Structure 1
Amino acid sequence: MLFHITCILVALLFLAPILLVLLASFRPPAMVGNGFLSLQGLDLSNYGRLENFGAGILHYSGNSLFVAFATAILTIFVSVFAGYGFSRFRFPLKSLAFVLILSTIMVPFQSILTPLFLILVKLGLQNTLSGLVFIYVTLQLPFSVFMMRNAFDAVPKEIEEAARIDGVKGLRSLIYVMGPLVFPGIVSVGLFAFLNAWNEFLAALVLLTDQDRYTLPVLVTAVRSGHYGSIDWGAVQAGVTVMMIPCLILFVTLQRFYIRGLTAGAVK
């Protein structure tokens, strides 16, 4: 009984900020910060300001969804093949290559932002959502390759050998035999990539100069300025609420795969 009460209290502690942000998103700017738990004076004016800014909230949400889903799909595609290769194949300097890939995690993204900007300019991808996707995939790959290598290492090689005896080889073995077994790891990699791309702000701010190509984090920053230099907290909270919705839906839907994926390869 005590355990369940403690769990409920901890859950309420984590849900309280979400509830406060949700209520604040329905309050006029003058009332934000006063009487958070009061249900009086609620309206949709904050969401109206988001819709009336630039091309509208739906347009910028579409930009963010495209970037996040494209990042997740490309990250999964590359990391699955790379993780499978590092787990199952032997080749010269294999350990060194893996260490070099992981070492890039220690390089601060801000320190290479200028070179990345220049590379995108040379490729003609600056100020494009596709260029932003490639940047996000590059930054996400070291961790994703590490995750997928561990996921494949947790699968006994005897399963793959049995499939090979039955005539299932190569790509078919990876898709139909190994794929279902490492599916939790794939979900974890895709979820991490989606959330990081969905919430990332600095690269989108620097690499996107056209207002119509803004993602939601940049939109929230652009719309936060109120009259005479004040901060429009109502619009900010409305933008934060919109940004939370896909994250909550994905996490709740894929939670069981996510937890299994994080622990894949931890115990043999």
Structure 2
Amino acid sequence: MARRTPTPVRYAANAVGLMVLVVSVFPVYWMVSRSFLPRNEIRGTEQVWFPWGGNLDAYRRVLAGDAFRDALTTSLMVTLLTVGVALLFAFLAAVAVSRFRFRGRRSFIMTLLLIQMIPAEGLFISQYKMLEGFGLLNSIIGLTLVYVAAVLPFTVWTLRGFVDGVPRELEEAAMVDGCSRVRAFFTVTLPLLAPGLVATGLFGFIQAWNEFTLALVVMTDPAKETLPVWLIGFSESRSRGVDWAAIMAGSTLITIPVVIFFMIVQRRMVSGLTAGAVKG
């Protein structure tokens, strides 16, 4: 087979792709490199592109005391609970909408779309008063509830597409062989939905992990702060100004759990995103 000669269009497409890659990666590099620089070099007029003479002082300031550990524990517990609860309810709702026909089904689907159109800021007061009435302010359960409410509509809508992509004939064939409807679904259909569950779970993980405004409103106790709220403490120093090195170091540490989680599920994630693109 003859080898194709690169065309100007291909060169241009590669150049655009390379530019997009540089623009996407450079902020991450800048964040990590600034975290190793001393304060005087960060505030200096000359830009330092490579932190050859850097140190770990910023990371020591971030890890000093129990504040980072407490915030990390809170963020992990809230995020994992949010992903678990949201996937459970979204999975059941997606199956109900995809596999069954019932009164109000279309209205339920439209409601999911309408909920996602409501600005989150417009719900803050009602959510705060609701949690205050139940005594759930400054609690992991309270913050998890509002996170689940925010993540659930998108998760249901996404999982519904994955369930629709699994042919019903597979379940019917298992039922002909003697399986009940429930057993046929859990033994045949559920394994095929694993990529979709991982893909939607990752999006929910990122959304809950990086959320700032709701956590700032609900978790007013400094000992119950999540990592994004805890990070702003380095910008409120009265004596020495904004500690940019510590902010960059803290941001780098906050990013690590997301990267680790993504590396663990990346294979399932890719297959989940491409599921349904090819039919055979």
Instruction: Settle same-fold status: TM greater than 0.5.
Output: yes
For the pair shown, the structure with the greater C-alpha radius of gyration is: 2
TM-score, with structure 1 as normaliser: 0.91
1:139 matched residue in structure 2: 150
Unaligned runs of 5+ in 2: 1-5
1:20 matched residue in structure 2: 30
2:57 is equivalent to residue 42 of structure 1: no
Query: Runs of at least 4 residues of structure 1 off by over 6 A?
Result: 3-6
Change (3 A) 1:39 1:177: same
* Cα deviation code 1:186-232 (max 9, x no counterpart): 01111111100100000100100111111100011122223447211
One-letter amino acid matched to 1:104: I
TM-score, with structure 2 as normaliser: 0.87
2:185 is equivalent to residue 174 of structure 1: yes
Q: Find 1:126's aligned residue among 137, 144, 159.
A: 137
Larger CA deviation: 168-177 vs 192-201 = 168-177
Distance 2:88 2:63 in 1: 35
* Cα deviation code 1:31-87 (max 9, x no counterpart): 22654323333112212222235x232221121111111111111111111100000
Unaligned runs of 5+ in 1: none
2:113 matched residue in structure 1: 102
One-letter amino acid matched to 2:178: G
- 3-state SS, counterpart of residue 136 of structure 2: coil
Distance 1:207 1:266 in 2: 41
Distance 1:265 1:40 in 2: 48
CA contact (8 A) 1:224 1:235 kept: no
Q: Find 1:11's aligned residue among 21, 24, 41.
A: 21
Change (3 A) 1:266 1:99: farther
Distance 1:150 1:40 in 2: 49
- 3-state SS, counterpart of residue 50 of structure 2: coil
Q: CA deviation at 1:23?
A: 1.1
Distance 2:267 2:79 in 1: 21
Larger CA deviation: 225-234 vs 136-145 = 225-234
One-letter amino acid matched to 2:119: P
Distance 2:120 2:147 in 1: 10
Identity %: 34
CA contact (8 A) 1:153 1:265 kept: no
2:280 is equivalent to residue 234 of structure 1: no
CA contact (8 A) 1:64 1:215 kept: yes
Q: CA deviation at 1:257?
A: 2.7
CA contact (8 A) 1:75 1:189 kept: no
Q: CA deviation at 1:106?
A: 0.5
One-letter amino acid matched to 1:242: L
Distance 2:101 2:14 in 1: 49
